[in-house]
Structure 1
Amino acid sequence: MARRGKKKGRPVSGWIVLDKPAGMGSTDAVAKVKWLFKAQKAGHAGTLDPLASGMLPIAMGEATKTVPYVMEGAKVYRFTVAWGEERTTDDLEGPVAKTSDLRPSEAEIRALLPNYTGLIMQTPPQFSAIKVGGERAYDLAREGGTVEIAAREVEVGRLDLVALPDENSALFEIECGKGTYVRSIARDLGRDLGCYGHIAELRRVEVYPFEPSHMVELAAIEAAAEAVENEEERFAAMDPFIMDTAAALDGLPEVALSDDAATRIRLGNPVIIRGRDAPVEAAEAWASSRGRLVALGTVEAGMFKPKRVFGSA
């Protein structure tokens, strides 16, 4: 019988809320962080385009089990729209497809903003990761064809005009839900204003439940790693950048367990929860013991039922 090989890397778990630099792909950023921390596994919670900068939450180890909760969180972006050109990619990367000499006034822009808030229908960009007939839209678009992508419903909490640097551009801030394409917002604003437009600069400043203050630059992690030669000391210098796995679960009810109850939960057994503030019913909740995440699950009739269990280390 073949023996299962030992996992490579450290069993490190938690979140690195990376301030991704422009020009780096999300997959490359994850690979870099995984290599620096020698993590056994890592993944990100929401792709950020290579031309975009800003918050890219990266989960390592057991934190990867909590990625869906961050994926569902609201995102905040700041972006600059350049007027006068519509591009095939809806950003600076693609060639110009349409042009206009018209430029919108502040009043015209502000009058449109209510049309872009709430539940709206949006058509994703031709160059996007949406699957069309089993293939990625960007692969089909690169082959030179026109990709028919169906409009879909997305949610925009707010869209604010922040500044007008000059007549050729406008700075916006948007708070939106999962699946919203900011490039599509820029494209559609340009079309509705009759002047065309595309993203000239894009930065993600927040991914709930993480805050801007949680972001760390790759250069800071690398500097900590290079400050010492000994591997053990190197990890000791870098690990303070890691946020606890449970940081992704802000907003979910927490159930505090005794040591005995935590052991039962880790074995997959439900437990009765006690305490004046303990929830009686909860579609989603997380259980902790001595401040450490034990399991994700549900609360039914005062009983916590585990769905995903976390290690005790």
Structure 2
Amino acid sequence: MNGIFNILKPTGMTSHDVVYEIRKKFNIQKVGHTGTLDPNVAGVLPIAVGKATKLTQMLIDKDKSYRCMMTFGKQISTSDTYGEVMNISDKIHSISDFDKACKSFVGEIIQVPSMYSAIKVGGRRLYKIARKGEKIENIPKRKIVINSINIIKFTGKTAIFDVSCSKGTYIRTLVEDIAKKLDDIAYMNYLIRTKSGSFDIEDSVTLSDIDEKDLISMDDIYIDGIKNIILDEKQLYRFINGLDLNPQYIKNFEYSNKNIYKIYDEKNKLVSIANVQDNKIKNIAMLNN
């Protein structure tokens, strides 16, 4: 088995729990997820199996989309519904003010991850540090991109919105930052990941319903910017045996802006996923051995 399962992860499971269930169900060891999805967050979690595990970094680097519900008036220790109430307020906001605040975050911004995020500081996960009652004063800031925020429903005290963003974005932090923009406090009620790269929630499958037929083959995996290369018999021999293969000697070669290529033989059989390094085509995941 080589390919990707588009899993609809339920709340209450870690990404590693899903990996374990896939290993057990299909009796396969080479299984990996394409980026951690918090246990309290449901939604799209692409799971790579077999040789597709070599593609996980390419899939992790893609944009994500979420549906989020936030509530004004309470500051929660964990920034979601699972912590303790720290502060309260009684402000009511207009949809125009909320929309203006949301739009101020669209584009490239600097974000400070939540203490309950999974990033590591000094080799330790922040959420593990937080659960022990410890604090980190200088959490590393990160540059992220918010592509869009679309309001679905707004009541003055609660809001449901869709957000499209770059990898590494923490939505619970975005929720609190939007509230700060309105001189208020808020927390995240729920979060669902609706899209991860090209994997959409509408095409996802639950662990209880999953079957081998749900595996997306290496040939069918879509990665934004990927280009196809067809090698003749002589070029294929050189490539498979690790010899230099220069792009300029390949018919109809077209450079990929993401430096990702699918390599096919003359019979249109997928042979490898590759990239170009030092003007040489290099194998990432060989599929014929």
TM score, norm. by length of structure 1: 0.83
Q: After the TM superposition, which residues 120-139 of structure 1 pair with which residues of structure 2 at under 5 Å, given as runs?
A: 120-139=109-128
**Which structure ranks higher in relative contact order (CA pairs < 8 Å, sequence separation ≥ 6)?**
2
TM score, norm. by length of structure 2: 0.90
- Of the three residues 81, 85, 93, the one matched with 1:104 is 93
Whether 1:150 aligns to 2:123 is no
Which residue is 1:252 aligned to? Answer: 226
Is the alpha carbon distance of 1:293 and 1:182 closer, same or farther for their aligned partners in structure 2, counting shifts above 3 Å? farther
Kindly state the Cα deviation for residue 274 of structure 1 after the two structures are TM-superposed: 3.1
Q: Aligned with 1:216: secondary structure? A: coil
d(CA) in 2 for partners of 1:283, 1:172: 30
Kindly state the Cα deviation for residue 134 of structure 1 after the two structures are TM-superposed: 2.7
Is the alpha carbon distance of 1:59 and 1:280 closer, same or farther for their aligned partners in structure 2, counting shifts above 3 Å? closer
| 8 A contact 2:227–2:256 mirrored in 1 | no
Structure 2 stretches lacking a partner, 5+ long: none
Q: Aligned with 2:216: secondary structure? A: coil
| 8 A contact 2:41–2:190 mirrored in 1 | yes
- Of the three residues 249, 270, 282, the one matched with 1:292 is 270
| 8 A contact 1:69–1:248 mirrored in 2 | no
| 8 A contact 1:76–1:207 mirrored in 2 | yes
Kindly state the Cα deviation for residue 32 of structure 1 after the two structures are TM-superposed: 0.7
Which residue is 1:210 aligned to? Answer: 199
d(CA) in 2 for partners of 1:299, 1:48: 32
Taking only aligned residues, the RMSD between alpha carbons, in angstroms, comes to 2.1
Is the alpha carbon distance of 1:49 and 1:264 closer, same or farther for their aligned partners in structure 2, counting shifts above 3 Å? same
Structure 1 letter corresponding to 2:2? S
Q: After the TM superposition, which residues 3-14 of structure 1 pair with which residues of structure 2 at under 5 Å, given as runs?
A: 12-14=1-3
Identity over the aligned pairs, expressed in percent?
A: 28
Which residue is 1:5 aligned to? Answer: none
Size of the aligned set, in residue pairs, is 282
d(CA) in 2 for partners of 1:263, 1:33: 35
Which residue is 1:240 aligned to? Answer: 213
Structure 1 letter corresponding to 2:250? R
Kindly state the Cα deviation for residue 91 of structure 1 after the two structures are TM-superposed: 1.1
Which residue is 2:47 aligned to? Answer: 58
Q: Aligned with 2:78: secondary structure? A: coil
Kindly state the Cα deviation for residue 312 of structure 1 after the two structures are TM-superposed: 0.8
**Larger helix proportion of the pair:** 1
- Of the three residues 248, 254, 262, the one matched with 1:279 is 254
